[in-house]
């Protein structure tokens, strides 16, 4: 009997080890720290959606010193979350990133200004001091300023740009007339900092016709030549989208999962619930497929910079439906 039990235990252990070894590893590099902006991935991991399809997923948070294109180019991730302006600019500079899925349909980027500066319309930005994020996030802003005909080098008739940290201190301390904000994050930091909505003027990039695609999934082009990698990414994207659908339907549970994953402890439950609600407004279709019209609009916006465009030529091969097609098999 003891021998039979030992044999059964041994077989069980062997099967467990076999299953663990069979799980394919995937590492995803996020664009920023663990927060509701990335809820789908954390929910998919927590609810076992990745495990169900045989994946062992490692989620690497980002931060002010993390550039996703550099991480993936250096072999530190299989897939990364990035904004399309950053990805296309990186591609033109030699990092062959390819969009395999588009999570966000709409842009959450905006410029939030103090109403007491007299700014009421985009033309009023002339001569003002504006806070702008860099590290790849500046490209939509530069495209917008080019459209308005405003220089950003401090020359007369343009705007003065200050490099904004990932906070809203410049507007709270009145060092800037406007700061960059996201609908789901920094705008609410301005509100929490003591401003009422009536004391602010907000320009949404979507409304100004210069919106570019934000959070999408990118991989290195060479990896898409490997059928096994494409199949693995198909499982990853499908499980991730399942995670996003669950997060949207169960925002309170998603927030609890996010808070448990946030090792910084910087985000409160109130912050994350508010963010989850705003993120839900930006999500695209459940299949995560890129809309080519949105891609074309983004490219056109990035190339409309006159003598200083974000990208100088139309990219080729910058997106692929190979993974989306593999999801149907």
**Position 65 in a domain:** yes
Domain final residue pick, 151, 182, 204: 204
Are 224 and 293 in the same domain? Answer: yes
Least Cα distance to 224 among 320, 314, 150 occurs for 320
Are 123 and 248 in the same domain? Answer: no
Asked if 209 and 300 touch (Cβ cutoff 8 Å), the reply is no
pTM: 0.86
Are 83 and 119 in the same domain? Answer: no
Asked if 72 and 31 touch (Cβ cutoff 8 Å), the reply is no
Domain final residue pick, 204, 238, 266: 204
Are 183 and 318 in the same domain? Answer: no
- Type and span of the H or E element at 233: helix 227-249
**Position 19 in a domain:** no
**Position 134 in a domain:** yes
**Position 15 in a domain:** no
The tens-digit pLDDT sequence of the chain (329 residues) is: 545 444 445 545 554 444 445 789 999 999 999 999 999 999 999 999 999 999 999 999 998 889 999 999 999 999 999 999 999 999 999 999 999 999 999 999 999 999 999 999 999 999 999 999 987 778 889 889 988 999 998 888 899 999 998 899 999 999 999 999 999 999 999 999 999 999 999 999 999 988 999 999 999 999 999 999 999 999 999 999 999 999 999 999 999 999 999 887 777 899 999 999 999 999 988 889 999 999 999 998 888 766 567 888 999 999 999 999 999 98
Using DSSP, state whether 283 is helix, strand or coil.
Answer: strand
- pLDDT number for residue 16: 47
Q: At what angle do helices 292-302 and 84-92 cross, to 10 degrees?
A: 60
**Position 140 in a domain:** yes
Q: DSSP secondary structure string, 96-160?
A: -EEEEEE-BSS--EEEEEEGGGT--SGGGGTT-EEEE--TTSSHHHHHHHHHHT--SSS-TTS-E
Number of H helices, E strands in the chain: 13, 10
Least Cα distance to 205 among 109, 290, 128 occurs for 109
- pLDDT number for residue 140: 86
Q: What are phi and psi of 246, to 5 degrees?
A: -65, -45
DSSP 95: -
Are 89 and 219 in the same domain? Answer: yes
The structure tokens 């979507």 sit at 206
Domain encompassing residue 171: 109-204
Looking at the structure of the chain, the number of domains it has is 2
Domain final residue pick, 164, 183, 204: 204
DSSP 309: -
- pLDDT number for residue 15: 47
Find the CATH number of the domain harbouring 143.
3.40.190.10
Sheet holding 129-132, edge to edge: 160-163, 129-132, 178-182, 109-114, 200-204
DSSP 319: B
């Amino acid at each position: 009997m003891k021998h039979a039990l030992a044999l059964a235990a041994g077989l069980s252990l062997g099967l467990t080890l076999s299953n663990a070894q069979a799980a394919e590893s995937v590492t995803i590099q996020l664009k920023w720290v663990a927060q509701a902006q990335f809820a789908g991935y954390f929910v998919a991991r927590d609810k076992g959606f990745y495990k169900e399809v045989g994946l062992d997923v490692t989620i690497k948070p980002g931060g002010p010193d993390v550039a996703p294109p550099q991480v993936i180019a250096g072999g530190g991730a299989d897939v990364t979350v990035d904004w399309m302006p950053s990805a296309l600019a990186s591609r033109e500079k030699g990092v062959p990133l390819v969009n395999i899925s588009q999570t966000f349909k709409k842009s959450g980027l905006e410029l939030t200004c103090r109403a007491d500066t007299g700014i009421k319309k985009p033309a009023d930005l002339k001569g003002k001091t504006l806070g702008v994020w860099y590290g790849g996030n500046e490209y939509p802003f530069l495209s917008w300023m080019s459209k308005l005909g405003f220089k950003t080098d401090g020359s007369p008739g343009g705007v003065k740009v200050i490099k904004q940290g990932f906070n809203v201190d410049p507007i709270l301390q009145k060092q800037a007339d406007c700061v960059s904000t996201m609908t789901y994050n920094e705008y609410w930091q301005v509100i929490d900092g003591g401003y009422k909505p009536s004391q602010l003027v907000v320009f949404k990039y979507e409304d100004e016709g210069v919106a570019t695609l934000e959070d999408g999934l990118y991989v290195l082009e060479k990896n898409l030549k490997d059928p096994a990698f494409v199949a693995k990414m198909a499982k990853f994207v499908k499980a991730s989208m399942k995670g996003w659908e669950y997060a949207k339907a169960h925002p309170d549970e998603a927030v609890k999962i996010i808070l448990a994953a946030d090792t910084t402890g910087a985000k409160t439950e109130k912050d994350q619930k508010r963010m989850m609600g705003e993120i839900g407004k930006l999500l695209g279709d459940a299949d995560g497929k890129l809309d080519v019209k949105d891609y074309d609009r983004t490219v056109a916006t990035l190339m409309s910079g006159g003598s200083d465009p974000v990208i100088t030529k139309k990219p080729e091969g910058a997106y692929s439906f190979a993974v989306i097609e593999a999801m149907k098999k």
